[in-house]
Structure 1
């Protein structure tokens, strides 16, 4: 893997203390003192060892596309930064504030699936599969739940950023690890994300050797793929990125790792003006004013606002977004593609697991 991990060594003593707590907690689960609950339907966990930026949402959406036409699918997320509490099952009237930006994004994009949020994933699964929830659910995708060990998923998928190898990282707060790198032993399938599209088979093999896979594990490699632009507020056809060649773009985004997005847009646009916010940033009135001010500085006949689907979920219903700007706001979808035809192995593994573990009953085994 590539890249160097920025470590805040002054915070390392706090990482030691954090590590003690995490290791003790994992040990209690490993020896059975803390109970992992199994559920009699396919449960797939998608997560990582680090905080933010590995591409969980695009990979979750990949699984949705893979499974939604054959199985009744549900996504269960924590609903980070939502204003509601407890279990919430998304509906056509749900607001972003009710379920969080990423669940809201998935609920809008995939209206045929169930999307729910609950910080307590065991309770969330029980509620989701109850008669009052979505009892027709056949498969559950647990979004960002690798450390939520009270649920014992049938299949664990671990995402690792190509540019930030976990082997060179440190625990929070000095680094970005939520738990020691040895936690990858719990994964069934590992995916190295955000790889260069030209990553060679030789480099893939070197990464395999570095990861030190266990006998039951397999590793895959994916890269980011950008789709066609579409207007956020207007009903108009999608357009290729090439339409940006004569445009001056105000790039408005609050995601964990904006650098690849800036690089991609920069390759196509005449000029970009980045307006960057923190991950999951809740836009306020001052932000709306700043966006408008930056937009009006651009040439009137060549300007355009570009954002991600995740950011769009926080903009689309914002009461203080200037009406004048809405026709100029476009969204750039982000998807993933497997390298070296890895999907020919990955896809059948997912489908085989779901088919072998499907059951009619959705009652917890305890």
Structure 2
């Protein structure tokens, strides 16, 4: 029992360290102070080497094509840029015409290998197996596969009757011939260099490889709060939580955790007590991990749709495979 208590204490300490590192990264990449600016400049040589390696990998990779259209929704920076809601919007737009699967790695899931998370309206795995993002897709009615090996995932989807595949965050799979959608970051990075000097995980020049870069107005988003209560606390574990700042006016406080954080019931109960809150306001990505905790929750729903221009770009690509789309 004592060993277990010590382990829990070490775990809490580790979570605090991760949280501080997360805050430092946000500051370093987006709003650096004088020291962070100097650090970024000092690391430029490493970034140049990293960029060269990525460029050589891209140029030396031969592409393979599959028998069905494949769309990738990605970005060039670390962290979130709204890939999940856009994948849902694309699925909802085109799945009525073509049987569609969303395939993703399933980052931070407690499993390895390929799993069919949801198929034909049936959720087949729990959130620990699927990961939080895959479960968000599943509860929104999508066919979902998680697989570190995207090629295996695509082949499995085809075996299940897929006529269209949407890849979540697979820009790095240079060998797959796909329609590349690249999202720009919601916040402007302080540096245009790649990691470790800047936030770019691929050189900024790689935007030239995009088939489509959504502009203002191409992605239409509207948020809604379900079970709005008087004294809500915003609690979230997503990348770039500042994207939710507009909702702080509805809350009496906020607690931000590192992306994909695994919540415990105790830490959420402690937040409720700390603020004397009537509920915790959480995103869908957080909700799927804590819905069984029996605590008062308010859910932030982001409804996303795409412009006619966006639809036309995708439809033109799909007509290369299906003349009647």
- Do Structure 1 and Structure 2 share a fold, with TM-score over 0.5? yes
Deviations 1:214-236 (A, max 9, x none): xxxxxx65464212415xxxxxx
**Would you say the 8 A contact 2:182–2:213 is kept in 1?**
yes
More helix by share: 2
Quote the residue 1:36 is aligned against.
Answer: 63
Correspondence for 2:270 among 293, 299, 305: 293
Whether 2:248 is the aligned partner of 1:266: answer yes
Whether 2:315 is the aligned partner of 1:315: answer no
Whether 2:267 is the aligned partner of 1:303: answer no
Task: Identify if the C-alpha distance between structure 1 residues 169 and 272 changes in structure 2 by more than 3 Å, giving closer, same or farther.
Answer: farther
Return 5+ residue gaps in structure 2 as ranges.
1-28
> SS in structure 1 opposite 2:213?
strand
**Would you say the 8 A contact 1:74–1:141 is kept in 2?**
yes
Q: Shift of the alpha carbon at 1:349?
A: 2.4
> SS in structure 1 opposite 2:214?
strand
Quote the residue 1:77 is aligned against.
Answer: 104
Whether 2:140 is the aligned partner of 1:109: answer yes
Correspondence for 1:170 among 188, 193, 206: 193
Quote the residue 2:180 is aligned against.
Answer: 156
Quote the residue 1:146 is aligned against.
Answer: 171
Q: Shift of the alpha carbon at 1:279?
A: 0.7
Distance 1:24 1:256 in 2: 29
Return 5+ residue gaps in structure 1 as ranges.
30-34, 196-219, 231-242, 360-366
Task: Identify if the C-alpha distance between structure 1 residues 295 and 122 changes in structure 2 by more than 3 Å, giving closer, same or farther.
Answer: same
Distance 2:130 2:88 in 1: 17
Task: Identify if the C-alpha distance between structure 1 residues 42 and 337 changes in structure 2 by more than 3 Å, giving closer, same or farther.
Answer: closer
Correspondence for 1:27 among 49, 53, 59: 59
Correspondence for 2:213 among 190, 194, 214: 190
Correspondence for 2:236 among 235, 243, 253: 253
**Would you say the 8 A contact 2:72–2:170 is kept in 1?**
yes
Deviations 1:123-155 (A, max 9, x none): 22112212xxx1x211100110111112111x2
Distance 1:159 1:64 in 2: 17
Quote the residue 1:180 is aligned against.
Answer: 203
Quote the residue 2:77 is aligned against.
Answer: 50
**Number of matched residues?**
285
Q: Shift of the alpha carbon at 1:296?
A: 2.0
* Runs of 4+ displaced beyond 4 Å: 3-8
Q: Shift of the alpha carbon at 1:258?
A: 1.2
Task: Identify if the C-alpha distance between structure 1 residues 293 and 5 changes in structure 2 by more than 3 Å, giving closer, same or farther.
Answer: closer
Q: Shift of the alpha carbon at 1:272?
A: 2.3
Quote the residue 2:126 is aligned against.
Answer: 95
Task: Identify if the C-alpha distance between structure 1 residues 90 and 281 changes in structure 2 by more than 3 Å, giving closer, same or farther.
Answer: same
Whether 2:226 is the aligned partner of 1:229: answer yes
Q: Shift of the alpha carbon at 1:332?
A: 0.5
State the superposition RMSD in angstroms.
2.4
Distance 1:4 1:251 in 2: 22
